[in-house]
Amino acid sequence: MARHVARRDPRAHWVLLLLGLLLLLAALTLNGLVTGLAGGSGSPQGVTADGAAVAVPKKVSSGGPVLRLDRDEPVSRTMPDRTVALTFDDGPDPRWTPQVLDVLRRHGARATFFVVGARVNEHPELVRRILAEGHEIGSHTFTHAELGVASGWRRDLELALTRKAIAGATGREVTLLRPPFSSHPAALTGPEYAALRAAAGTGHVAVLADRDTKDWRRPGVPAIVEAATPQRGRGAVVLMHDGGGDRSETVAALEKLLPALTGQGYRFTTVSEGIDAPNSMVPAGAGSQWSGRALRWTQTGAGGVAGAMDLLLGVALVLGVARLAVQVVCAQIHVRRVRRPEHARRWITAPVSVIVPAYNEAANIAATVRSLVASDYPALEVIVVDDGSSDDTAGIVERLRLRGVRVIRQANAGKPAALNTGIRAARAELLVLVDGDTVFQPDTVHRLVQGFADPTVGAISGNTKVANRRRLLGRWQHLEYVIGFNLDRRMYDVLECMPTIPGAIGAFRREVLLAVGGVPADTLAEDTDLTMKVLRAGWRVVYEEAAIAWTEAPSSLRQLWRQRYRWCYGTMQAMWKHRHALREPGAGGKLGRRGLPYLTVFQIVLPLAAPAVDVYAVYGLLFLPWSTLLLAWAGLLLLQGATAAYALRLDGERYGPLWSLPFQQLVYRQVMYLVVVQSVVTALIGNRLRWQRMVRTGEAAALVGVTPAGRPS
Contacts of 361 (CB under 8 A, 6+ apart): 368, 389, 391, 393, 436, 437, 696
Contacts of 427 (CB under 8 A, 6+ apart): 351, 353, 381
Q: Beta strands of 335-392 (E only): which ranges?
A: 352-358, 380-387
- Confirm whether 81 is a catalytic residue: no
8 CB neighbour count, 10 Å cutoff: 10
Contacts of 279 (CB under 8 A, 6+ apart): 272
Q: What order of strands is seen across the sheet that includes strand 380-387?
A: 405-410, 380-387, 352-358, 430-433, 506-509, 457-466, 540-551, 438-440
DSSP string, 347-363: -----EEEEEEESS-TT
What are residue 239's DSSP bridge partners? 87, 212
Contacts of 400 (CB under 8 A, 6+ apart): 366, 369, 370, 710
Q: What is the chain's alpha carbon radius of gyration, rounded to the nearest angstrom?
A: 37
Q: Is 477 exposed, middle or buried (0-12, 13-18, 19+ CB in 10 A)?
A: buried
d(CA 615, CA 81): 57
Q: Would you state the torsion angle of the CA atoms of residues 513, 514, 515, 519, taken in this order, to the nearest 10 degrees?
A: 50
- CA-based nearest residue to 377, from 406, 349, 345, 346: 349
Contact status, residue 194 vs residue 53, Cβ threshold 8 Å: no
653 three-class SS: coil
d(CA 237, CA 84): 6
Contacts of 78 (CB under 8 A, 6+ apart): 63, 64, 65, 66, 210, 235, 275
Contact status, residue 476 vs residue 660, Cβ threshold 8 Å: yes
209 three-class SS: coil
Which among 241, 334, 446, 578 is annotated as catalytic? 241
- Confirm whether 135 is a catalytic residue: no
Which DSSP helix (H) or strand (E) runs through 307?
Answer: helix 286-338
Residues marked as catalytic: 89, 241
